[in-house]
Amino acid sequence: MDEQVRIFLDVDEQWENWVTLLLRHRSVANDSLRPNRVCAPANLHGMLGIPLAQAVDIAIRAISLPYFEQSTEWSLVFLVAVQAGHISTMLNVQEVMNDPDKESTLMEAFATGSDDALCELCKLQPDFVRAKFDIILSRAAKLGNKRLLDFLLGEETHSWSRNVDTSRLSPLYEAVKWGHTTISKRFYGFSKPELNLDRTGPFQGQNILHVAARHRDSSLIAMICTAGMDINCLDSASRSPLYHASRNGHVHAVNRLLIAQANTDIADQNGNTALHAAARRGFFEIASALIRYGAHVNMANLERKTALHVAIESGHENIALLLLGLEENTADQDDQTSCGGKGNTLREESSPPSPRSEASASNSVDKDPVTLPSVTTSTTFGTTSVRPEETSIARTSTNARNTRSRATIDVHIEPPLLPLAARGNQIKVIDALLKHKVPCNANTRKGRSALHIASKYGYYEAFRRLVESGADVNLTNDETTALHSASRRGHTNIVKKLLDRGADAGAAHRTGSTALQFACQGGYIKTVQALLPHSNNQNRKRALHVAAIIGQVDILVLLLDSGTDKDAQDDDLYCALHFAAFVDDPRVARVLLLRRARLNLKDNCGKTPLHEAARMSSLEVLKLLIFARADVNLRDKADRTALLLAASVDCPEAVQLLLKSGARLEVPSSLECAEYHSFLDLALAELPRR
């Protein structure tokens, strides 16, 4: 024991790491878990003669594996040894491993192991490798295990694959999908005589050309294009390889396909073309190349949207300007563009990364322009070459096709473009559209014009350009004007400009409100100040009531100071003091009382503000009205006093206040219902206890 302790002390730091990881993986909730004793460094050292430092390393790796607690016997040690590349340990463990799940252990090893260890494992388990050849080959292609692939495809193992599927599509798909360009070219060259390129693979009905386009394997695309494959083939969503390359921002792949005369106008099942895809994702150079190669710029999808719609809607102003013909065409400058056409140059494609998602596709466009070389690659798999003349196939004829000009873009299409540009506050696009004389007052399907949208969101520069170009300031959208939209959100600068241009401040919204009422509702005092000189007495009266009911005291004072009648009544003969009593807002009531508002003004039911305060149990306003000497015994049209109303809503506090202020304790004979007597009796019964 002392000797073991001394040995462990020599590697105490690694031992501490092993124990720490073990404890971390064991939780209180799973207390029954116990470490696999086979992975203890002492056992590995003693039983297999593994150096202790290496044994501790294996133990630490084993605990880190997600299947540590479920693994049994020596399978875990075997997997760790293969993963770490400890070939001697792997050989020793295989001799003692008697795992009933040995096949699954071996498959797991081929999914995670190192090249050298797996090559050795192939020699140790030839029968297993023969039986699972295609699966192992696909996993090696996915992981980019070049030495293992070289071994599997070598002369001495070539006969292993004779009785299995030789299409090699799965390994080829995996290599392309995970960005292993060298390996994908190797599989293509190895299997070319028997490779059915048109066969759809495991990825949503896509053949190998679709996958190569999605995952930027431009070299393989060039090779396939020269092999005579249909480059316009469609997947299950009717998308072409050019669409996939454009959608994922793969400049080189797009260039290869365009050079091979790919059809730029193939639409998917939603009517979207490659140009739609590039415009939606913001890939300027790809969009530029597609246009140079004759893409139909006015082609609409099923939603009736062209690439220009999509570019504006997605906020890609540079592509929108390109389509409108205002951005300088990079194709007209020698050696400046990366996608075919005149001055054809390519950015040097960096080596592809390890597994990546489509979400990161936009990062695949690199920065340094270099002239397109012939594709020649020397690897452990041999040399693969594409002749320079093959990379420039049909360049002349393709450029000859480019007869369409960006100036032919149709800007007078539906749905209108100007509201889209206004929604995104795209000033340059708005300027360009106005230069093309698009109608300023065109509405969207929801009836919104560009001016409505700019006013709603406060885009002043866009708004100013529209107004100066003749947009109708009184144009209605569902009985809503631009002034309504701007006032509702407090865009005072836009409100002032609209008023200067003759906007009707008295125009009613579909709800009956005016711009002044909207400004009061939002508490926008500066907007109210701008609107007041343009508002008549009726609008001011309504605004006063709005300010009273929502408690906008500052605006209330502003309206009163501007001469608004403090006692103005609405259609129900409610005045501002009625509203203050209704919502129990003593601040509003105090302002009105200081301005000597009439205390006993009646509504169309004969109720005074005091009646309303009693009915709503608005005690604070009730106190103010009583203090101001409101008549506590006035009756409404139903012959009810404030005292009766307070009793009917079971508010003893209000009853007590009114009684102390001289309210008469009686029920008029005109009230036939004895219910009011009960209300008063209950209210009076409550008083002594309070």
State the pLDDT at residue 100. 55
pLDDT tens figures, 137-164 = 777 777 777 777 777 776 455 554 444 4
List of long-range contacts for 375-382, beta carbons under 8 Å, 24+ apart:
375/219, 375/222, 375/223, 377/182, 377/185, 377/219, 379/146, 379/182, 379/186, 380/146, 380/147, 380/150, 381/146, 381/149, 381/150, 381/153, 381/182, 381/183, 381/185, 381/186, 381/189, 381/190, 382/186, 382/189
Per the structure, the complete domain to which residue 307 belongs is given by: 222-409
> Is the CB of residue 573 less than 8 Å from the CB of residue 604?
yes
Paired strand residues for 378? 383
Residue 453 · residue 423 · CB < 8 Å: yes
Q: What is the DSSP letter of 364?
A: G
In a domain, 82, yes or no: no
* Total domain count, the chain: 1
Q: Number of C-alpha atoms within 13 angstroms, CB side, residue 220? A: 30
Task: Report the 3 state secondary structure along 186-244.
Answer: HHHHHHHHHCCCCCCCCCCCCCHHHHHHHCCCHHHHHHHHHCCCCCCCCCCCCCCHHHH
pLDDT of the residue at 644: 87
Number of alpha carbons in the 13 Å side-chain half-sphere of residue 354: 3
Q: Is residue 461 situated within a structural domain? A: no
Torsion on CA atoms 672, 675, 679, 685, rounded to nearest 10: 100
616-626 in b/e form (b: 16+ CB < 10 A) is bebbbbbbbbb
Q: Which of 101, 109, 120, 17 is nearest to 63 (CA)?
A: 17
SS3 104: helix
What pLDDT is recorded for position 22? 56
How far is 392 from 222, CA to CA, in rounded Å?
10
Comparing C-alpha atoms, which of 440, 496, 493 is closest to residue 466? Answer: 440
What pairs with residue 8 in β-bridges? none
CB 601 within 8 A of CB 575: yes
pLDDT at position 389: 34
CB 226 within 8 A of CB 393: yes
CA distances from 34 to 25, 78, 177 (A): 10, 19, 40
What's the CATH number where 321 sits?
Answer: 1.25.40.20
Q: What are the residues whose beta carbons fall under 8 Å from the beta carbon of 72, sequence distance 6 or more?
A: 36, 99, 101
DSSP 375: E
Q: How far apart are CA 113 and CA 119, in angstroms?
A: 10
- Return the residue matching tokens 């594709």: 375
pLDDT, residue 46, reads 62
Give the span between the Cα atoms of 207 and 199, in whole angstroms: 6
- In this structure, which amino acid lies at residue 440? C
Collect all residues with Cβ–Cβ distance below 8 Å to 581 and sequence separation of at least 6.
589, 609, 610, 612, 613, 616, 618, 621, 622, 625
Report d(CA 321, CA 345) in Å as an integer. Answer: 23
pLDDT mean values, one per 10 residues, the chain (690 residues): 48 56 49 50 65 69 54 61 65 59 67 69 75 75 72 59 48 69 66 48 67 75 72 88 92 91 94 96 95 91 94 94 66 38 35 35 33 33 35 34 50 88 94 91 87 96 95 89 95 96 93 94 95 94 95 96 94 95 95 94 95 94 94 90 88 88 75 57 55
Residue 188 in any domain: the answer is no
Residue 410 in 3-state DSSP?
coil
Q: pLDDT value at position 101?
A: 58
pLDDT at 295: 92
Burial group, residue 271, by CB count within 10 angstroms (0-12, 13-18, 19+): middle
CA distance 396 to 394: 5
Q: Judge contact between 540 and 562, C-beta under 8 A.
A: yes
Q: What is the pLDDT of residues 585-607, one digit of tens each?
A: 999 999 999 999 999 999 999 99
User: Is 382 part of a structural domain of the chain?
Assistant: yes
Strand 375-379 to 382-386 pairing: antiparallel
Within a domain: 265: yes
Strand partners, 384: 377
Respond yes or no on whether the N-terminal peptide bond of residue 439 is cis (omega within 30° of 0).
no
Per DSSP, the three-state class of 425 is coil
Q: Which helix (H) or strand (E) holds 135?
A: helix 133-143
Task: Identify the residue whose tokens are 């290869």.
Answer: 256
Residue 178 in tokens: 């995970």
Strand partners, 375: 386
